[in-house]
Amino acid sequence: MRRIVVAIASTVAGLVLLFSYRTSTGVTEASAAAVSTGDSATTSDSGSGSTAGTTSGTTSGTTSGTTSGTTSGTTSGESTATTGSAVNTKWGVVQVRITVAAGRIVSAETVQLPDHNPRDIEINRVAVPVLNSETVASQSAKIDVVSGATVTSDGYIRSLQSAIDAAHLS
């Protein structure tokens, strides 16, 4: 009889702990707005994310294609902004815009990112500044995938390559 009471009490305690566990990430709306506009000034760690893996190959089932006709260029003084194609990924659309001056990429930013849930926003808040800085550093789409943001990184790289192609960079 005593064992039954202890077993029931343990089960109830375990269930209470399980249901009281909070799974939300607690990302604020300001972070979400900064990520969706590509503003990296509000991120706390803009250049020192850990990267792993390579850009070769694609994960099966992570992308469903690209949309055509989304490349455009605008001229602002001596620099040109070129937007890559919108790439549909498993988690949403990723689109990149690069600014080119004197034949070099001077900046990269995201135009569209998956932002349907707090986890997307949290991942992109860390991954996008890393991808942007690696783009400027490498001057190409040959950048590493950010660990923990593989799907977004793959979409970013594909959109980046289309922007580079549209800007006629080698």
Per-residue pLDDT 10s for the chain (170 aa) are 889 999 999 999 888 888 777 654 444 444 444 444 444 333 333 333 333 333 333 333 333 344 433 334 444 458 889 999 999 998 899 999 999 998 899 999 999 998 888 998 999 999 999 999 999 999 988 998 888 888 999 999 999 999 999 988 86
pTM to 2 decimal places: 0.57
Specify whether the CB–CB gap between 95 and 102 falls below 8 A: no
